[in-house]
């Protein structure tokens, strides 16, 4: 089976690539396993001074694989199978002291948004869109997106974004503080690569200290937030609305939410 994520390390930069373009780079247990494998390589290489996260295909990521949510025993079991390996991998990724740049094209939705919004610098294309998606299926924001969005745009805007299931254009994301740099779609890769190369040649210990200082501003860590998200998402899996929302999305119809 092809890894969901591929990686390379060169010129002091670790490049992590979401590599399931035909499936819009879904986040599932295989994705988490592939991410952990990439992080193992980063841990073993002292030359890494910056990280670039990018994706193959038209879209960065549509987030969780909704079809997989419905497979097997239950939605809860499927979600547990994702959260158990994924949250620790996220904690490792965002725990690095080196700068992290993410290049986003197309849609970054749900868990894809969570990966993007926790980076130090987001480079987006002018046609990029950032979507909440979680309430649309009767679920709960995950992948550290609560923490990342609140840190970037403020708690009030982040809460509204998730409750109203909003989708922001690149320009809206830039104005609200979600995106840092917006360029023409065909300039995303070059812009991100130049930026990460500059950071990789910079004062690494200084960057580490800067990132740590900002982390200390909040007593609640990303890992804490991700676990709370996972607990609440699993609670949704015990009710009616999550399964109904997932089926409705896959069947392209309006969901009949019952509030339970």
24-33 per-position pLDDT tens digit: 999 999 999 9
Q: Which of 174, 51, 35, 186 is nearest to 112 (CA)?
A: 35
**Bridge partners for 169 per DSSP:** 129
Q: What's the pLDDT tens digit per position in 70-110?
A: 988 899 999 999 999 999 999 999 999 999 999 999 999 99
User: Is the pLDDT assigned to residue 157 strictly greater than 50?
Assistant: yes
Per-residue pLDDT tens for 197-214?
999 999 998 999 888 888
- Residue 67: count of CB within 10 angstroms of its CB: 12
Per-residue pLDDT at 11:
96
User: Whose structure tokens read 């210990």?
Assistant: 205
What is the rounded distance in angstroms from the CA atom of residue 229 to the CA atom of residue 175? 26
5-185, what's its fold? 2-enoyl-CoA Hydratase; Chain A, domain 1 (3.90.226)
100-104 and 107-109 strand pairing: unpaired
According to DSSP, residue 164 is labeled: T
Whole-model pTM: value is: 0.87
Q: Return the sign of the alpha-carbon dihedral for residues 190, 173, 16, 26.
A: negative
**Average pLDDT rounded to a whole number, residues 128-133:** 96
Residues 124-144 have a mean pLDDT of 95
For residue 218, pLDDT over 60 is answered with yes
Tracing tokens 């046609």 back to the chain, one arrives at 127
Nearest Cα neighbor of 153 from 164, 143, 142, 145 is 145
Whether the pLDDT of residue 2 is over 70: the answer is: no
Percentage of residues in the chain having pLDDT higher than 70: 98
Question: Quick one: tokens of 232?
Answer: 């609440």
């Amino acid at each position: 089976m092809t890894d969901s994520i591929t990686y390379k390390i060169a010129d002091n930069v670790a490049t992590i690539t979401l590599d399931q373009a035909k499936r819009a780079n879904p986040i599932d247990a295989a994705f988490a396993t592939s991410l952990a494998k990439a992080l193992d390589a980063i841990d073993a290489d002292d030359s890494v001074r910056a990280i670039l996260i990018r994706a193959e295909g038209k879209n960065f990521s549509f987030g969780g694989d909704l079809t997989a949510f419905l497979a097997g025993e239950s939605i809860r079991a499927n979600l547990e199978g994702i959260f158990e390996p994924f949250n620790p991998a996220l904690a490792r990724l965002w725990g690095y002291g080196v700068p992290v740049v993410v290049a986003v094209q197309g849609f970054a939705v749900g868990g894809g948004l969570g990966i993007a919004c926790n980076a130090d610098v987001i480079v987006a294309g002018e046609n990029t869109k950032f979507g909440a998606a979680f309430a649309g299926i009767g679920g709960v924001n995950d992948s550290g997106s609560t923490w990342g969005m609140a840190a970037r745009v403020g708690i009030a805007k982040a809460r509204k974004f998730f409750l109203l299931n909003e989708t922001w254009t690149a320009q809206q994301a830039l104005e609200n503080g979600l995106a840092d740099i917006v360029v023409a779609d065909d300039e995303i890769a070059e812009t991100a690569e130049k930026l990460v190369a500059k950071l990789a040649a910079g004062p690494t210990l200084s960057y580490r200290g800067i990132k740590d200082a900002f982390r200390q501003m909040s007593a609640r860590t990303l890992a804490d937030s991700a676990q709370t998200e996972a607990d609440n998402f699993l609670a949704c899996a015990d009710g009616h609305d999550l399964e109904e929302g997932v089926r409705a999305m896959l069947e392209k119809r309006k969901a009949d939410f019952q509030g339970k």
